[in-house]
């Protein structure tokens, strides 16, 4: 996958997609596989904003049962199943526990009934899932003792047991988004990161494409398309304002915070606890296992549109206080936070509701020809990573009608880039036999989870240069070959692209100065950077890591 800006300017596309998060990536893949000529434009790096800032959960819709919203339950089940089928290396089942009580909606008997109902509604939850390890089991109810063993820090008062169901879990959300971009390119799409839309091409009553700028060089670009679709997430109105402020879609935002702490908080399960605040509102918090650590969140704050939202110390303290009150065994301290994820998500506004935790469950596909009389322009706004491909398919149907095209036949469960595997463990065994002596089992397992069958392209680089088999530092599993592969084949343009998105180097916090310098040296060699450029890239990464709450550990900083 190479960045070719000339390919954006020498033809008229059927569809130009503005925004390269998970919604834009899924839509680009779906449209390209349907036979449309597709351009995908992202002003920063693919999947680097809201799509990266989450608890990595593929929601199966269990909580919608309490509202009797079976349509959304079924939609969520299908969406979760889709990811488990097409990306079995990156998406896996996740057991989730919720403690039961003697009264209220969390009564043990009531949740037992809810689990039975959910299993009935989710009767086809494993259809087409080839890897047995990726199949969702039935829900179950635990006894009080089982619950307290599973969640040992839970306050035992009032606990009667726990209900356990399964959602999906993403081991690296940035690489999952990238896999959809790579699949779109494989199907014929032209994708480019660091291309900022600066305006729209117009004819009377119609949008005919976009004007853009290469962020890296300043080069101006004219990209023509029969249909332009904005998938810019919380910044959709900023993009639409480049054409006409009257095109703005109704959108209220919540700033959502999730933090990483570098220790597990339960025995292999995600679990949910609740805290009732001084305002009388009950906040439900999730603690999710991830790469041997834990993701904790989410807290929600009313927000305005921001180019780069960040968390305040007061917001972090409030989140920790809520978690420690709801789950006394956590005993979380500020210094344990190794990463802070901040995203902007659409929230509910019906009935004057100003609760920032009430995120909207409804996506919008706005046809501006119908709403504003401006042809050639669609906008997509949604909230859940999980339903991105569902929304992509529905948007595609509108796009096909708009451009008057008939879709090419395609497999509904075509694997994404690296996902064509029947059993993940078989891929690991094969990789271990081929590269075990050179790379070691922990590195190989990490490569297989991040790249799937495409691990071969990374490992093959060590055949030509054995030095690329070495980890960047003793504290990481990321090897030099991943850095080279990211630049040559995954459109990584900056050091931050590699550190934060192409690899898991900073997944659990600051990787240490030694790892960053080794990564920068490799990129400088591949990209032809001089010492000044390499130093600038290092400084930029340090700023981004600091903003995300990542600081080098004392032992790493002292090396």
Q: pLDDT tens digits for 466-487?
A: 999 999 999 999 999 999 999 9
Of 181 and 66, the structure prediction assigns the larger pLDDT to 181
- Over range 496-521, report the average pLDDT: 96
Strand partners, 375: 206
Q: Are 184 and 28 in contact (CB under 8 A)?
A: yes
Secondary structure E strands in 147-243: 161-170, 190-192, 195-203, 206-214, 220-230
pLDDT interval class at 283 (50, 70, 90): confident
User: In terms of C-beta density within 10 A (0-12 exposed, 13-18 middle, 19 or more buried), how is residue 532 classed?
Assistant: exposed
CA-nearest of 511, 507, 501 to 542 is 511
What is the chain's Cα-based Rg? Answer: 23
Report the residue count for the chain.
559
Q: What pLDDT sits at residue 353? A: 61
pLDDT single digits (tens) 423-437: 999 999 999 999 999
CA separation (Å) from 386 to 26, 121, 210, 226?
11, 18, 29, 29
Residue 39 in tokens:
């351009």
- Total Cβ atoms within 10 A of residue 1: 17
Q: Is the peptide bond before 13 cis (omega within 30 degrees of 0)?
A: no
**Euclidean distance between CA atoms 182 and 470, whole angstroms:** 26
Q: What pLDDT sits at residue 252? A: 86
What sign does the CA torsion over 321, 323, 324, 325 have?
positive
Look at domain 253-346 and name its CATH class: alpha beta
- Over range 391-409, report the average pLDDT: 95
Q: Which residues contact 340 (CB under 8 A, 6 or more apart)?
A: 257, 258, 259, 260, 311, 316, 548, 549
Strand partners, 58: 168
Q: What pLDDT sits at residue 554? A: 60
- Over range 250-268, report the average pLDDT: 89
Q: What pLDDT sits at residue 352? A: 60
**Euclidean distance between CA atoms 384 and 80, whole angstroms:** 11
Q: What pLDDT sits at residue 559? A: 37
The fold of 6-50+174-251+361-403 is FAD/NAD(P)-binding domain (3.50.50)
pLDDT at 557 over 70: no
Give pTM, 2 decimals.
0.96
Per CATH, domain 424-557 is 1.10.8:
yes
φ, ψ dihedrals at 200, nearest 5°: -115, 145
Q: Same CATH fold, 424-557 and 6-50+174-251+361-403? A: no
pLDDT at 416 over 80: yes
pLDDT interval class at 349 (50, 70, 90): confident
- Over range 525-553, report the average pLDDT: 93
Instruction: Specify the long-range contacts of residues 67-75, CB closer than 8 Å, at least 24 apart.
Output: 69/361, 70/121, 72/361, 73/118, 73/121, 73/122, 74/121, 75/387, 75/390
pLDDT single digits (tens) 44-56: 999 998 888 878 9
Q: Are 450 and 444 in contact (CB under 8 A)?
A: no
pLDDT interval class at 115 (50, 70, 90): very high
Q: What pLDDT sits at residue 558? A: 41
Indicate the domain borders of the chain: 6-50+174-251+361-403, 253-346, 424-557
Q: What pLDDT sits at residue 519? A: 98
pLDDT at 366 over 60: yes
Helix (H) or strand (E) holding 93: strand 91-100
- Over range 388-407, report the average pLDDT: 95
pLDDT at 258 over 80: yes
pLDDT at 304 over 90: no
pLDDT at 330 over 50: yes
- Please give the span between the terminal C-alpha atoms of the chain, in angstroms, as a whole number: 36
**Euclidean distance between CA atoms 431 and 434, whole angstroms:** 5
Average pLDDT, the chain: 93
pLDDT interval class at 267 (50, 70, 90): confident
């Amino acid at each position: 996958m190479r960045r070719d800006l000339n390919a954006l300017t020498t033809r008229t596309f059927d569809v130009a997609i503005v925004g390269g998060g998970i919604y834009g990536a899924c839509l680009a893949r779906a449209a390209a596989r349907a036979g449309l000529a597709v351009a995908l434009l992202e002003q920063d790096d693919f999947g680097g904003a809201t799509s990266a800032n989450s608890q990595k959960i593929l929601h199966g819709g269990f909580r919608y049962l309490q509202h009797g919203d079976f349509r959304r339950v079924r939609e969520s089940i299908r969406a979760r199943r889709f990811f488990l089928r097409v990306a079995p290396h990156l998406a896996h089942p996740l057991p989730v526990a919720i403690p039961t009580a003697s009264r209220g909606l969390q009564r043990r008997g009531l949740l037992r009934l809810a689990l039975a109902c959910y299993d009935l509604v989710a009767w086809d939850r494993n259809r087409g899932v080839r890897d047995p390890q990726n199949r969702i089991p039935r829900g179950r109810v635990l006894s009080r003792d089982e619950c307290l063993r599973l969640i040992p820090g839970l306050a035992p008062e009032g606990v009667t047991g726990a209900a356990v169901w399964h959602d999906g879990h993403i081991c690296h959300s940035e690489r999952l988004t990238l896999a959809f971009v790579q699949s779109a390119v494989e199907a014929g799409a032209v994708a480019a990161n660091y291309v900022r839309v600066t305006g729209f091409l117009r004819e009377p009553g119609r949008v005919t494409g976009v004007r853009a700028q290469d962020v890296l060089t300043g080069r101006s670009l004219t990209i023509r398309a029969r249909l332009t679709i904005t998938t810019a997430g919380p910044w959709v109105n900023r993009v639409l304002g480049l054409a006409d402020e009257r095109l703005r879609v109704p959108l209220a935002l919540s700033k959502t915070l999730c933090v990483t702490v570098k220790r597990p908080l339960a025995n292999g399960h995600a679990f949910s606890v609740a805290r009732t605040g001084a305002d009388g509102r009950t906040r439900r918090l999730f603690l999710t296992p991830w790469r041997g650590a834990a993701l904790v969140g989410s807290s929600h704050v009313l927000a305005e549109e921001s180019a780069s939202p960040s968390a305040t110390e007061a917001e972090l303290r409030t989140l920790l206080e809520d978690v420690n009150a709801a789950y006394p065994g956590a005993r979380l301290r500020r210094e344990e936070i190794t990463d802070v994820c901040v995203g902007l998500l659409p929230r509910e506004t019906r009935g004057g509701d100003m609760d920032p935790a009430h995120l909207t469950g409804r996506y919008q596909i706005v046809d501006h020809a119908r709403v504003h009389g401006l042809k050639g322009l669609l906008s997509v706004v949604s909230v859940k990573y999980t339903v991105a491909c569902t929304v992509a398919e529905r948007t595609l149907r509108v796009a096909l009608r708009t451009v008057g095209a008939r879709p090419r036949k395609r497999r509904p469960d075509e694997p994404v880039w690296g996902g064509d595997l029947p059993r993940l463990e078989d891929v690991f065994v094969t990789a271990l036999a081929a590269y075990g002596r050179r790379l070691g089992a922990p590195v190989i397992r990490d490569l297989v989870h991040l790249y799937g069958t495409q691990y071969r392209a990374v490992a093959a680089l060590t055949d030509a240069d054995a030095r690329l088999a070495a980890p960047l530092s003793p504290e990481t599993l990321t090897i030099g070959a991943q850095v080279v592969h990211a630049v040559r084949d995954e459109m990584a343009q900056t050091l931050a692209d590699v550190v934060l998105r192409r690899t898991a180097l900073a997944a659990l916090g600051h990787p240490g100065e030694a790892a960053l310098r080794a990564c920068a040296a490799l990129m400088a060699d591949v990209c032809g950077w001089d010492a000044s450029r390499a130093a600038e890239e290092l400084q930029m990464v340090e700023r981004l890591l600091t903003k995300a709450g990542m600081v080098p550990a004392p032992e790493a900083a002292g090396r």
